[in-house]
Structure 1
Amino acid sequence: MNPTVLAPIDQLLAIMARLRDPQGGCPWDVKQNFASVAPYTIEEAYEVADAIDRGDFDDLREELGDLLLQVVFHARMAEEAGHFAFNDVVAAICDKMIRRHPHVFGDAEVRDAAAQTIAWEAQKRDEKGLKQDDSVLAGISSGMPEWLRAVKLQKRAASVGFEWPDAAPILDKLEEEIAEVRAELARTDLSPETRQERLQDEIGDVLFVALNLARTSGVDPSAALRCANRKFEWRFRWMEQQAARQRTALQDLDLSAQEQLWREAKENQ
């Protein structure tokens, strides 16, 4: 079959089938499995988010295609194994969207987006057969990035009122947790292993509270971190360039000189 004469989605499915053909396909694609492809799937999702964050719609079109390819790749491997095919994936998400929006496709009513979120989570727990676990935290996957799981845990807790009233007490809590990290760093009576375990615990608390601060302030922590990464990268590259103009390498400058360049980078950004 010539894939170029098919509708776009059928063309993509045909291309993937050809790539996975053990007889004439691509050796790299043929040897992949669900576990080996999964990291690429996660990476492509982040690249979609990055294109959105930059407002680059040409790049977004391309990245969405890359992400769609990941879905097609997984679906093809599942079809080869006799589990399900791409059309089953599409049918399942169509059914789910209709089922979880009874206020759109049925007679149910919701007051606002917040009420819909609560209804969505309740229905999600029911669908997954989690009623035996009656915790509001039931069903939050352990397979997602831990920062995202932390935010989801916080949102679920907030849905039953376990929530800070505003940012002020969260800032106080953040200062408290940082003080506990300082205390652990100052201790000299622990073995290296115990010290590391305690630091991991306390720094985890700092990160958890920081995520809570971002969430309750209406800031997407992933977008905020991407922004911080870009800012750091720009400043650090600027420092390298300035060092090169001085006919030296950044690593050959002492910390004081590097910090001076960092301050200059901030002023020039």
Structure 2
Amino acid sequence: MQDLLQTLRRLRAPDGCPWDREQTHESLRPYLLEEAAEAVDAVGESPAALAGELGDVLLQVAFHSVIAEEEGTFGYPDVERGIVEKLVRRHPHVFGAVQVSGSDEVVTNWEVIKTAERGGRPRSAADRVPAALGALARETQAQKLARREKTGREDVGATLQKAPDTTQGVAEVLSAVVAWAWSLGVDPEVALREHTHAFLAALPDPEAGA
């Protein structure tokens, strides 16, 4: 990790790379999303492919850390220390004396601990689902939250039978499809990702006849 940080410091130096020197937390946002998505795509591929994509994600962590280091706000040691402390704090059933009966109770305790970390202020539903997620992934996470809170939609069948003729109607049907997929035990984000991958693979190469 120190080699990576030193490499980035060199790239950010006055005589380093002009592009790297120009980057900010804001300008790097799309790259963080892109690299995370590519790492997700690499899951299930070769170990070398996954290792490479995880390296690209780690680059983004290091890049933000070096920029913050220059600004005097935080550094990589703060990032590392913060996540280790968080993991220990949120796993009292491993690092403490708390007993749990299964993963569901772990998730429940996790939310209780997170609420305590905020001084007892519960997060809103919108706060729990990142706005930067794609629309389908965000709807999937929203419905996961709804099921956890036992407020999932009950009109899936009726909604799917509608013939939507408005943007809102189409959105309702898409939402119902997500709920329907979960009722079958299928993660809709993963299912659609795999279907799209297969669909793209079956398309003719537009440059084949060039």
* TM-score using structure 2 length: 0.88
1:33-53 Cα offsets, whole Å, 9 max, x none, are 111111111111111111113
Summarize the alignment of residues 1-269 of structure 1 with structure 2, pairs less than 5 Å apart. 9-21=1-13, 23-53=14-44, 55-129=45-119, 131=121, 137=125, 139-145=127-133, 146-163=135-152, 170=156, 172-176=157-161, 179-181=162-164, 184=165, 199-237=166-204
Alignment length, in residue pairs? 209
> Matched residues in 1 for 2:127 and 2:109: separation?
15
Q: Structure 2: which 5+ residue stretches go unaligned?
A: none
Q: 1:84 Cα shift?
A: 0.5
Moved over 4 A (4+): 238-241
* TM-score using structure 1 length: 0.70
Task: Letter of the 2:41 partner, please give it.
Answer: D
Q: 1:139 Cα shift?
A: 3.0
> Matched residues in 2 for 1:130 and 1:214: separation?
34
> Matched residues in 2 for 1:84 and 1:92: separation?
11
> Matched residues in 2 for 1:235 and 1:124: separation?
45
Q: 1:134 Cα shift?
A: 7.3
> Matched residues in 2 for 1:173 and 1:18: separation?
60
Q: Structure 1: which 5+ residue stretches go unaligned?
A: 1-8, 185-198, 250-269
Task: Letter of the 1:11 partner, please give it.
Answer: D
Q: 1:138 Cα shift?
A: 6.2
Query: Which of the two has greater helix per residue?
Result: 1
> Matched residues in 2 for 1:79 and 1:173: separation?
54
Using the aligned pairs only, state the percent identity.
35
1:41-82 Cα offsets, whole Å, 9 max, x none, are 1111111111113x3211001011011000000111111111
> Matched residues in 2 for 1:67 and 1:60: separation?
11
Q: 1:162 Cα shift?
A: 2.6
Q: 1:239 to 1:24 in 2, by over 3 A?
A: closer
CA RMSD of aligned residues (A): 2.5
Deviates more, 1:43-52 or 1:112-121: 112-121
